Amino acid sequence: MKVSIIGASGKLGQYMVQHALDRGYEVVGVCRKKSVKKLDRFEGRITVVPGATNDPEVIQGAVAGCDAVLVVLVPWGVHQYASGTAQAVLDYAEPGARLVFSCGWHITRDGKDQYSRKFLWEVKAFGWLAKLLRAADLDDQVEACRRVFASDTRWTAVRGSDLEEGESQGLPVWSRHVGDPILQSNRTRRVDFALFMVEALQNDELIHEAPAIVGCQTPSALAHAAGD
């Protein structure tokens, strides 16, 4: 299996590279030129393509011949970085390639997610401040996911809860809608978010799903497992 990882140098990206290598996959990683150094520890084991992830030419080269593409969708900047990245992958991935995108719980596919007031307030405040400072554009990440949901590719959009560092606890559990009791703990280890993304490549049941994930050892996941 040959896998392209778009946004390989970030925290999530590096964990995905490691999980992919652990499975014996051939890995092509795309990251900004200034971040190539962050991938030094994988030298000789992966191919690195330096460049902006929303540059169609960069993406076209990086996904050529790949069976799967893992994409870190981030809303940074105010120049359509997320939607440009998603569009380039949708346009240039090999026909039939498995595509797995990352985003947060704030993305909703069918509008049936039930968010707490605190969550909505935080998203609104972050979105407003980030836009004011021209640091990020949450609306563009929403647009990126809208394009993914509308595409006829073999996509999955993995929606991460609040994240934390730490040793792996195992494959996160998921549900279709934020607000479902199993997700209540709103906490996932970043290494396990990456694990879910990489495992999704082999799980066709996740095609055309937008799973919202939570750590499998969190209180809400354990309560669900116990039939609470």
Instruction: Please give the structure tokens belonging to residue 57.
Output: 């030419």
Which stretch of DSSP H or E encloses residue 50?
A: strand 47-50
Of positions 4, 102, 153, 185, contacts ligand NAP by CB under 6 A: 102
**Nearest distance from C-beta of residue 143 to ligand NAP, angstroms:** 14
Of positions 70, 103, 157, 216, contacts ligand NAP by CB under 6 A: 103
Identity of residue 212: A
Identity of residue 180: D
211 binds ligand NAP (CB under 6 A): no
Which stretch of DSSP H or E encloses residue 31?
A: strand 26-31
196 binds ligand NAP (CB under 6 A): no
Binding mask 150-169 for ligand NAP (x = CB under 6 A): ----------x-xx------
172 binds ligand NAP (CB under 6 A): no
Between the alpha carbon of residue 51 and those of residues 7, 30, 43, 69, the distances in Å are: 10, 7, 17, 16
Q: Is 47 strand, coil or helix?
A: strand
**Nearest distance from C-beta of residue 101 to ligand NAP, angstroms:** 8
Residues that bind ligand NAP (CB under 6 A): 7, 9-13, 31-32, 35, 38, 72-74, 76-77, 81, 102-104, 160, 162-163, 190
